[in-house]
């Protein structure tokens, strides 16, 4: 479970907890898949951040659609950033290491991202 600001949400992510407004009215249930429209609605309701699940673990095998989308997004962005040096084997290894570190951060493997 990872706490994300609304600007970090992507369609396909799954809510790890129900979302309530300031008056404790249920807006979206736990397990709801986010869409562009639902993310927009959360913003209009004044929500700042929500807990999501479905992040890939390790190499990303056996994860839901949201986790795979996140892994693919990371890979795409890294390939764009490393495009000029992708042929260099050292830079290719650095790109892989950066990808693994980003996955760890998104998986919430550091204790600071977990809700107590």
Verdict on whether the full-model pTM lies above 0.85? no
Is 106 or 28 the better-scoring residue by pLDDT? 28
Residue 50 has pLDDT above 80, yes or no: yes
Mean per-residue pLDDT over the chain, rounded: 77
Cα–Cα distance measured from residue 104 to residue 89, given in angstroms and rounded to the nearest whole number? 23
CA dihedral sign, ordered 57, 60, 61, 64: positive
**pLDDT (tens digit per residue) in 79-92:** 888 888 878 889 88
């Amino acid at each position: 479970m990872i706490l994300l600001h609304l600007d970090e949400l992507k369609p396909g992510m799954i809510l790890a907890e129900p979302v309530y407004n300031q008056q404790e009215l249920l807006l979206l249930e736990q397990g709801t898949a986010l869409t562009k429209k639902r993310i927009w609605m959360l913003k209009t309701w004044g929500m700042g951040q929500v807990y999501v699940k479905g992040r890939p673990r390790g190499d990303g095998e056996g994860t839901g659609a949201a986790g795979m989308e996140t892994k693919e997004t990371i890979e795409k962005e890294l390939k764009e950033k490393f495009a000029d040096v992708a042929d260099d084997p050292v830079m290719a290894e650095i790109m892989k290491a950066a990808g693994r570190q980003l996955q760890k951060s998104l998986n919430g493997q550091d204790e600071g991202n977990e809700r107590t």
